[in-house]
């Protein structure tokens, strides 16, 4: 993996080539080793909770930090200070001493030629206190500053950091939110289950739903650890007043972001759909007698990594196309057409929100749908995209005699009939998690390639044609 860094030669105006060995198993990718164009090791970096030391051809340097986590001093192997740093409000460093150290403000990397700070998604210009490119994260409705696509940490760098390049998190709890999100999430699930078993018998059906599917709620509505608090608050509301306090307490600890109007509306919709009335199968079927669960793949920002889950991407005529957006657009067209035929439709997401894979299947199982359809568009292997791969494929779970293969075949044939896309047929698989975990006939549709089929997919009329093919295939297979 490359971290672009342009070290311009003063004589030939070209660039030095540097190879990086990165650790991608941390919340935010960090460099372990650097090699030059000849394969010689230039720098190695040693980490604990943060960057501790750098080993160079000239010896070992150790890092000392100020109160906010920025590099304050650098010492050599004897302990003598060789460089010190001070910063202005937005992190422009002032170096005293001699060092080629590339890390400074908030222990993030600075490009020595441009002076720009590398924050993974984007580069920060500390001299102006903003990013040099537009953010792909659109922000929150109730936090107007997050909707400014260029400002750094909502213009509050004294209290926030932004290691992802997407949004600011509180410095005091940022590391706990990132590295502890999964721990809190798992602990939440266990806690809810324990408390749910002690609730009165009048709420047995609801507590059963919470115990069995609370892991879906906690990750359903958001892009950060705030979602955990949102799920807790909702869980508390439906199983007893005591849990509201638990949700509020954890929410205050892990999340600087509040519940948005979008999340509140989503919670109300979940309660309306899943926690009121009789859950008998007949009560939730449409006129056509079937219920379909649509799962637009990808979407939102993973709260454990801080990375936006766009799926495959490609650019055409200056427009960037994201698989997650095409998946959702297709699913909404499918929903509209199915409902016009009297079919009851549920969706894993109807907006740009993140869901874990097991969440999607669990929700489908909870609503007891008749058919599960996950909608995707394929990516070519390798980069950049090429026109080698084209066509649609419909997957179904292997080893199951529940009608999945018949649904896949019907949908594949209908898409081929209604579009000009090449058909690659159907294929069974035991490696697709959302298919393996469902309790009903399930398919995953790859509606074309983001590389070879992008010209076709960039036309909205063609997306509607794909959606109509999915509809016709599902309806025909259910007769």
Neighbours of 149 (CB within 10 A): 15
Alpha helices in 61-218 (DSSP H): 171-196, 204-218
Beta-carbon contacts of 396 under 8 Å, excluding residues fewer than 6 positions away, are 404, 405, 407, 408, 426, 427, 428, 429, 435, 441, 442, 443, 444
- The DSSP string of 150-180 is SBSGGG-TTTEE-TTSS--EEHHHHHHHHHH
Q: What is the pLDDT of residues 271-313, one digit of tens each?
A: 444 443 333 343 445 546 799 999 999 999 987 778 899 999 9
Question: Is-contact 458 451, C-beta < 8 A?
Answer: no
Strand partners, 443: 373
Select the more confidently predicted residue: 71 or 5: 71
* Predicted local distance difference test score (pLDDT) of residue 286: 53
For the segment 42-48, the average pLDDT, to the nearest whole number, is 94
| pLDDT higher than 90, residue 13 | no
Beta-carbon contacts of 289 under 8 Å, excluding residues fewer than 6 positions away, are 478
CA distance 108 to 278: 54
Q: What is the pLDDT of residues 404-440, one digit of tens each?
A: 999 999 999 999 999 999 999 999 999 898 998 999 9
| pLDDT higher than 60, residue 186 | no
- The CA-to-CA distance between both ends of the chain, in Å, stands at 50
For the segment 214-232, the average pLDDT, to the nearest whole number, is 40
pTM comes to: 0.46
CA distance 115 to 118: 10
Q: What is the pLDDT of residues 138-185, one digit of tens each?
A: 877 778 888 898 999 999 998 899 999 988 787 654 444 444 444 544
* Predicted local distance difference test score (pLDDT) of residue 244: 35
Q: Which CATH architecture has domain 281-477?
A: 3-Layer(aba) Sandwich (3.40)
| Domain segments of the chain as ranges | 19-161, 170-274, 281-477
Burial class from Cβ neighbours inside 10 Å (0-12, 13-18, 19+) for residue 369 reads buried
For the segment 439-467, the average pLDDT, to the nearest whole number, is 95
């Amino acid at each position: 993996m490359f971290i672009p860094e342009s070290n311009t030669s003063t004589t030939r105006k070209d660039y030095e080539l540097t190879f990086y060995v990165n650790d991608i198993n941390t919340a935010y990718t960090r460099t372990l080793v650097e090699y030059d164009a000849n394969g010689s090791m230039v720098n190695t970096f040693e980490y604990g909770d943060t960057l501790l030391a750098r080993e160079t051809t000239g010896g070992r340097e150790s890092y000392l930090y100020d109160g906010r986590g920025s590099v304050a001093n650098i010492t050599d192997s004897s302990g003598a200070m060789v460089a010190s740093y001070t910063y202005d409000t937005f992190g422009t460093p002032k170096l005293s001493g001699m060092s080629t150290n590339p890390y400074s403000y908030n222990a993030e990397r600075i490009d020595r030629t441009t002076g720009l700070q590398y924050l993974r998604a984007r580069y920060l210009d500390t001299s102006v206190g903003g990013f040099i490119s537009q953010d792909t994260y659109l922000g929150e409705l109730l936090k107007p500053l997050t909707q400014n696509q260029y400002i750094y940490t909502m213009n509050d760098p004294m209290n926030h950091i932004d290691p992802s390049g997407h949004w600011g998190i509180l410095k005091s709890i940022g590391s706990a939110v990132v590295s502890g999100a999964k721990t809190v999430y798992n602990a939440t699930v266990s806690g809810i289950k324990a408390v749910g078993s002690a609730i009165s018998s009048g709420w047995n059906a609801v507590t059963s739903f919470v115990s069995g599917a609370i892991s879906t709620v906690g990750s359903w509505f958001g892009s950060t650890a705030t979602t955990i608090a949102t799920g807790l608050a909702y869980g508390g509301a439906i199983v007893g007043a005591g849990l509201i306090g638990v949700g509020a307490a954890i929410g205050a600890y892990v999340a600087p972001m509040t519940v948005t109007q979008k999340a509140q509306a989503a919670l109300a919709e979940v309660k309306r759909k899943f926690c009121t009335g009789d859950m008998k199968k007949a009560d939730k079927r449409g006129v056509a007698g079937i219920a379909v669960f649509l799962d637009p793949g990808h979407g939102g920002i993973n709260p454990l990594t801080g990375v936006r889950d766009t799926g495959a991407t490609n650019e055409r005529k200056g427009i960037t196309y994201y698989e997650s957006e095409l998946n959702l657009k297709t699913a909404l067209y499918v929903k509209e057409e199915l409902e016009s035929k009297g079919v009851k439709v549920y969706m894993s997401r109807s907006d740009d929100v993140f869901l874990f894979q097991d969440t999607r299947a669990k929700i489908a199982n909870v609503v007891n749908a008749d058919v599960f359809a996950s909608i995707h568009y394929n990516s070519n292997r390798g980069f950049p995209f090429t026109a080698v791969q084209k066509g649609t494929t419909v997957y179904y779970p292997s080893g199951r005699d529940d009608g999945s293969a018949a649904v896949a075949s019907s949908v594949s044939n209908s898409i081929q009939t209604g579009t000009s896309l090449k058909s690659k047929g159907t294929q069974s698989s035991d490696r697709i998690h959302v298919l393996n975990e469902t309790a009903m006939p399930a398919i995953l549709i790859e509606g074309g390639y983001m590389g070879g089929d992008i010209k076709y997919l960039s036309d909205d009329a063609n997306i509607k044609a794909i959606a109509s093919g999915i509809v016709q295939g599902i309806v025909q297979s259910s007769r």
